[in-house]
């Protein structure tokens, strides 16, 4: 299950259970809308409740990341699983975004809001 909310400085995406290609396409549509009307995007992925993902979703993620490698400024990933941390590190190879992994949502939010504050200054 996927929950998406548009916050003032980022898109918040929380995953519970298994992430499927259907879920990822929902995420893509939200991000493409944001890109079209607001430009570069910051993302916060809360993956602490994610149990896994499907292979077709992983392939779609790689395709999407490569196609939009310059469209993201900062990506915060909240995870407590070493494999997810490793995956975030690999995504840095496919994207120009700053990617950081956090153990709590509050730290990720602070990092994203810091980016917005420095951009406004």
| pLDDT tens digits, one per residue of 76-120 | 999 887 666 656 666 665 678 888 889 999 999 999 998 666 666
Q: End-to-end alpha-carbon separation of the chain, Å?
A: 37
Q: Domain spanning 2-112: which superfamily? A: SpoIIaa-like domains (3.40.50.10600)
Higher pLDDT, 120 or 35: 35
CB 54 within 8 A of CB 18: yes
pLDDT band at residue 55 under the 50/70/90 scheme: confident
Per DSSP, which regions of 11-107 are E strands? Answer: 11-19, 41-53, 72-78, 98-102
The domain ranges of the chain are 2-112
CA distance 27 to 14: 10
Residue 35 to residue 72: CA distance in whole angstroms? 9
Cβ-defined contacts of 98-102 (< 8 Å, 24+): 98/73, 98/74, 99/74, 99/75, 100/74, 100/75, 100/76, 101/77, 102/76, 102/77, 102/78
Task: Place 14 in a pLDDT band, splitting at 50, 70 and 90.
Answer: very high
Say yes or no to pLDDT of 67 above 80.
yes
């Amino acid at each position: 299950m996927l929950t998406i909310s548009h916050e003032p400085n980022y898109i918040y995406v929380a995953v519970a259970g298994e992430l499927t290609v259907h879920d990822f396409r929902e995420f893509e549509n939200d991000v493409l809308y944001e890109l079209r009307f607001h430009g570069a995007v910051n993302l916060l992925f809360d993956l602490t409740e994610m149990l896994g993902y499907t292979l077709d979703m992983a392939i779609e993620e790689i395709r999407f990341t490569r196609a939009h490698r310059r469209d993201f400024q900062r990506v915060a990933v909240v995870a407590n699983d070493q494999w997810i941390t490793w995956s975030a590190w690999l995504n840095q190879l496919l994207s120009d975004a700053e990617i950081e992994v956090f153990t709590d949502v509050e730290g990720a939010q602070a990092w994203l809001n810091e980016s917005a504050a420095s951009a406004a200054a």
